[in-house]
């Protein structure tokens, strides 16, 4: 195995999202958060804010959209208090 292959393999082992969809947001276990699921933890999330976070407009928040919302300070991070 070449040095490049080893580095690529090791890099892929540690390539994970900043945080996965928390179980308290993903109540049905589908890996996504609906508006209702998001409002369970963050009741102040309006329809407009949800639409802003839902970048691909599929009606659900995925891990990437959640990470982007936290990075943009639209939502607190996983350890943030609200």
Domain with residue 64: its CATH number is: 1.10.238.10
Q: Residues 12-28: pLDDT tens digits?
A: 545 444 557 888 899 99
At residue 64 the predicted structure's pLDDT band, cuts being 50, 70 and 90, is: very high
Count of domains observed in the chain: 1
The span from the CA of 59 to the CA of 37, in Å, is 12
> Would you state the pLDDT for residue 16?
46
Domain enclosing residue 56, as ranges: 18-71
Cα–Cα separations (whole angstroms), residue 61 to 9, 32, 71 = 29, 5, 14
> Would you state the pLDDT for residue 66?
95
Q: Is the pLDDT of residue 50 over 50?
A: yes
Domain annotation covers residue 62? yes
Structure tokens at 11: 């890099």
> Would you state the pLDDT for residue 21?
84
Beta bridge partners of 33: 61
> Please, what is the end-to-end C-alpha distance for the chain in angstroms?
49
> Would you state the pLDDT for residue 41?
92
């Amino acid at each position: 195995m070449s040095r490049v292959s080893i580095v690529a393999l090791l890099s892929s082992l540690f390539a994970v999202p900043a945080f996965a969809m928390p179980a308290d947001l993903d109540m049905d276990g589908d890996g996504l958060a609906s508006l209702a699921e998001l409002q369970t933890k963050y009741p102040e999330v309006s329809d407009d804010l949800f639409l802003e976070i839902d970048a691909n407009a599929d009606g659900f928040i995925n891990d990437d959209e959640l990470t982007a919302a936290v990075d943009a300070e639209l939502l607190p991070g996983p350890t943030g208090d609200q």
